[in-house]
Chains A and B, each alone.
Chain A
Amino acid sequence: MEFFRNPNIDFLGYKWYFIAFSLIFSVAGVCSMLFWHGIPLGIEFRGGTLVEIKFTHAPNDNAIRAAMDRAGLHQAQIVPYGQAANNERLVDLSLQETSEQALDEGKARIIAALESNPAADKADFNNASSLAVANYLLDKDPLHAGTDANQRYTAQAQAIVGYRDKVGGGVLSSFDQLKGAADPAVVAALPDGFYLSDFGVKSASIVGPQVGQQLRGQALRAVGFSLLGMLVYLAFRFEWIYGVAAVITVFHDTLITVGAFSLTNKDISLTVVAAILTLVGYSNNDTIVVFDRIRENLKLMRREKLSDIVNRSINQTLSRTVLTAGLTFLTVLALFLFGGEVLHDFSFALVIGILIGTYSSIAIAAPILVAYQDWRVERNKRPVIGPGAGGAGKRPGNKASGPGSSPVPDKGAKTSVSR
């Protein structure tokens, strides 16, 4: 099976389309970053409080907001999270509301604010720890346990809380659901000490201003230095212009991906940063494959114009580019479609990144080389790229590049055979 046999597409001929395409998306992204959504940073970077809450029924956002207001937590943003049927909300409090007290009390403050009708002297089961349940059971002793009471009730409490979290998704609407998960006598004893609120906290992030700032600075520094490392290595292996082209390409990809996050107003969290680093690696990999072929062809086709060599190199690697991109895309698409809510933003970044990364190695990186060469020629300077420029990388020696081993495919010659 083969998708492309001897493709011969004049990629450089489409360069104005490429430039237009890249400009539209970059400018749209930058405009959104400047004038619309800004760069929506995740809670880890901007600081603040973010709590994910699952309700037993479709929640009323206004009631939540009012409850938070009463607790002194103003300007809470209530955002639906995941599929509507999950009844989940994100409660987002700005950094101003994240005082030192909030860092100490953590999610307890938000839980207390949301308790709509707490029963006197009873604890909220949906937000109780297994330790609290075990302590209650020890006190109540529904099994009339003897010396091993501590152990038995701890196990029962863990089974109960485990059922609530793993099977119930974090919240129960009736104690009857626990039948079968624990001893009936234990389940029957629960309503005396616990009531069921209509929500449970699935995750909570409380980040002080200092940490967010440190993390921002550190992530930027790390990425900056790693790009520099990449540039230096490519300059050493190829020519410096290859390194520059690769870095510009990676910058282009990152800009468009971050722009997509800004346009869709999705938060750039730490995991999204990891996804962006992945796309940088991927795009860079793609670019080097094309560059490598250009370098090889420069030695073989000494008389041809650089633009022809670049075109041929892209065509020769096209089959591999499409295959690799397609397969990686397949993996990432699976993650995007089946990976669940937590992986959603992460895989969104990868889906966009792989499309853009593949496109850019063809449409941005290689044309930069040609444009640079043209610019040098216009100014009557010695061409830097090409056989006369020297400094090309190492070849596999005498094994290849003999007179009969021209990598230019002979049209019509079909030698690939299947068993």
Chain B
Amino acid sequence: MKNLGWKLAVSVGILLVFLYGILGIPQSWSGQGLLASIQNRIHLGLDLKGGTHLILQVQVNDAVNVDSDNVVTRLKDTLSKRNIHYLDVTKPDPANNPDKIVITGVGPDSAADLRSIVSDTLQEYDLSSSVNDSWTLTMKPQSLAALKERAVQQAMETISNRIDKLGVIEPTVQEHGLGQYQILVELPGVDDPERVKEIIKSTALLEIRQALNGGQPYPDEQTAMSANGGVLPPNAELLHGISMTSSQNQDVVYLISRTSAVAGNDLREARVQQSSSTNMPEVEFFLTAEGGRRFSAFTSAHVGDYLAVVLDGQVREVAVIKSEIGDTGDIEGKFTEQQAADLALTLNSGALPAGIKYLQELTVGPSLGADSIRAGVQAAIIGMLAVLIFMLVYYHGAGINADLALILNLIILLGFMGFSGATLTLPGIAGVILTVGMGVDSNVLIFERIREELRNGKTPPSAVEQGFGYAWITIVDTHVTTIVSAAILLMFGTGPVKGFATTLIVGLFANLFTAVFVSRMIFDWLLGRHQRGQALSIG
């Protein structure tokens, strides 16, 4: 039994490594201290500890529209500068084909010029001609995909930023593998999900635009239309807002210029302050150097005009430009302290590149989570104890092997979760149960086979040898089949199904090690101590 030494060393080494995985270095060795370090290392899923699980859809077409709007403006500009005659540059279907731009009225003699403009400055677009001097620009598929993917990545970054600033512990923000352009957000232990949802969702796109009609609002859209003779001035739109003059939160409509003097990315910082006139909370913002320069230029050219602070398409403030303004402004709007703080937070974390729609919200309250942990742990301990005791009763001495192997198996499994940071969820517990079941099974297979060989008159050493030999084939077959199907689940599944597959795969590898290597080692050690031919305690 010369191999026993290193086998023992390997087993103890693995035991220690994975114990460290479960416990880390505990601060104290009291029951409380150990519990705290386990909770620190093993992360429980939202279904067990409570929290909110959100799936949101990034409306990537928004981002495409921003890009193509930009192209339309640039193209018109370039065409005029180069003296190329055109009728119009439009987007026929921004809702469904946000990347499609139609240029009309460019005759055959200007075709070469148009082609060269597109190939020089709009490499991301394809140009195709159709009848009647009309041309169509569409984004190249790979550029379109990249743009959408970038929007999702940016949205994820912005959302993580906001959640971090809210002080949520251990949030998850990741792409949701199931649908296209979806984001999964998990917020453990958040007790006010509605507010967090609001904060995540707010696009926080801040713009300062010129307010037309002398900054005066209309009571509703119809009045606004008829006041303008049924046709809005070019480059203007109607936006809703709250009346600046009335004390009630009265909804009114403003006529606002379409182009913005400064926009979201010109923003440097936002913070809450007390308004000097009304003593209500308001949000003060500061522009970047570049944004400040443009704002100064705009305000000095428009003294006496009105400007509007537009947030997510809502007019928040209208004021007259008395003189040139530098790089600061404020947003009033009857905020509570909390609302003002939340707005400053979203502004500081940057605008979302595209709108967001919620697809799913699952909230597990803390009381429910606490109930399920208590009951689940209790049940698991009762079940495990029953199995451990039964193995001892049924297999006597060999039962100790099985029990040690099972315990080591669980330690490896939990230790792995500690190391990898994987979360333990209800489906994960299903994986653990199957692991325990197959762990018990491996031991039973081996022991029954050893008993059978003993009944056939084998000496204990050769019975052990053959028992392990025969059972090994079966164990490999059962384990590999299950690992193969679990690996496929891992590849094609998401979320909970993945959690199940991960614990199962780790558990089964651990099981191959404990049931075969460790259990065998203990048998060898026992046989080595015994006289040859002496009975083996296997029930």
Partner-B contacts on A (CB < 8 A): 1-2, 44, 52, 54, 100, 103-108, 129-132, 135, 161-162, 164-166, 168-170, 200-208, 210-211, 214-215, 218-219, 221-223, 225-230, 233-234, 237, 270-271, 273-275, 277-278, 280-282, 284-285, 288-289, 291-293, 296, 316-317, 319-320, 323-324, 327-328, 330-335, 337-343, 346, 350, 393-396, 399-400, 404-407, 409-410, 413-419
Contacts and interface: CB of A to CB of B under 8 A. Distances in A.
A404 B463 CA distance: 12
B384 A105 contact: no
Contact of B397 (A223, A317, A419): A419
Contacts of A168: 367
A165 B457 contact: no
Contacts of A206: 360-362
Most buried by B among A200, A203, A205, A230: A203
Nearest to B390: A327
Interface in B332-375: 337-338, 357-368, 370-372, 374-375
A168 B454 CA distance: 59
Secondary structure call for the B interface: helix
B194 A331 contact: no
8 tightest CB-CB pairs across the interface, nearest first? A340-B375, A274-B427, A334-B383, A129-B192, A331-B383, A396-B469, A170-B367, A226-B485
B470 A338 contact: no
B489 A350 contact: no
Contact of B535 (A225, A226, A289, A418): A418
Nearest to B504: A281
A334 B379 contact: yes
Given A202-B365, A210-B179, A334-B380, A100 B482 contact: no
A343 to B, nearest CB: 6
A92 B387 CA distance: 39
B466 A342 contact: no
Given A281-B434, A406-B456, A416 B451 contact: yes
Contact of B430 (A200, A215, A278, A289): A278
15 contacts: A1-B396, A103-B359, A201-B363, A203-B364, A205-B361, A218-B178, A222-B488, A280-B485, A281-B485, A319-B448, A324-B440, A327-B390, A339-B379, A409-B456, A419-B396
Contact of A342 (B372, B427, B433, B494): B372
A219 B500 CA distance: 13
Contacts of B441: 285, 289, 320, 324, 328
B430 A346 contact: yes
Given A271-B430, A327-B437, A104 B197 contact: yes
A340 B492 CA distance: 31
Contacts of B396: 1, 418-419
A401 to B, nearest CB: 9
A171 B254 CA distance: 47
A337 B481 CA distance: 31
A348 to B, nearest CB: 13
Contacts of B55: 211
B141 interface: no
B379 A343 contact: yes
A332 B433 contact: yes
Given A229-B484, A271-B47, A274-B500, A202 B427 contact: no
Most buried by B among A162, A201, A218, A281: A281
A396 B446 CA distance: 14
A399 B383 CA distance: 37
A340 B367 CA distance: 13
A281 B478 CA distance: 9
B365 A201 contact: yes
Contacts of A317: 448
A274 B455 CA distance: 41
B383 A211 contact: no
A166 B332 CA distance: 41
Given A165-B367, A400-B470, A316 B488 contact: no
B525 interface: no
B497 interface: yes
Contacts of B474: 288-289, 292-293
B367 A166 contact: yes
A201 B364 CA distance: 9
B497 A393 contact: no
Contacts of B57: 210
A170 B472 contact: no
Contacts of B12: none
Nearest to B372: A342
Secondary structure call for the A interface: helix
B363 A409 contact: no
A396 B394 contact: no
A393 B488 CA distance: 24
Interface of B: 47, 55, 57, 178-179, 191-195, 197, 201, 337-338, 357-368, 370-372, 374-376, 378-380, 382-384, 386-387, 390-391, 393-394, 396-397, 426-427, 430-431, 433-434, 436-438, 440-441, 444-445, 448, 451-458, 465-466, 469-470, 472-474, 477-478, 480-482, 484-489, 491-497, 499-500, 504, 535-539
A104 B201 contact: yes
A208 B453 CA distance: 60
B451 A218 contact: no
Contacts of A399: 465-466, 469
A340 B361 contact: no
Contacts of A225: 488, 491-492
Nearest to A234: B481
A226 B387 contact: no
Contacts of B482: 281, 284-285
A191 to B, nearest CB: 21
B382 A230 contact: no
Given A103-B358, A208-B359, A400 B440 contact: no
A318 B324 CA distance: 92
A416 B456 contact: no
B535 A330 contact: no
Contact of A418 (B379, B383, B537): B537
A214 to B, nearest CB: 4
A238 to B, nearest CB: 8
B383 A335 contact: yes
A218 B497 CA distance: 10
A274 B536 CA distance: 40
B455 A416 contact: yes
Most buried by B among A100, A237, A271, A404: A271
A300 to B, nearest CB: 12
B455 A409 contact: yes
A278 B431 contact: yes
Given A129-B192, A327-B386, A342-B371, 5 more contacts: A168-B367, A281-B504, A324-B440, A327-B444, A413-B457
A230 B481 contact: yes
A277 B486 CA distance: 9
B99 to A, nearest CB: 23
Contacts of B478: 284-285, 288-289
A278 B178 contact: no
Nearest to B365: A202
A275 B365 contact: no
B456 A320 contact: no
Nearest to B338: A135
A274 B434 CA distance: 11
A400 B467 CA distance: 9
A396 to B, nearest CB: 4
A328 B363 contact: no
A51 to B, nearest CB: 9
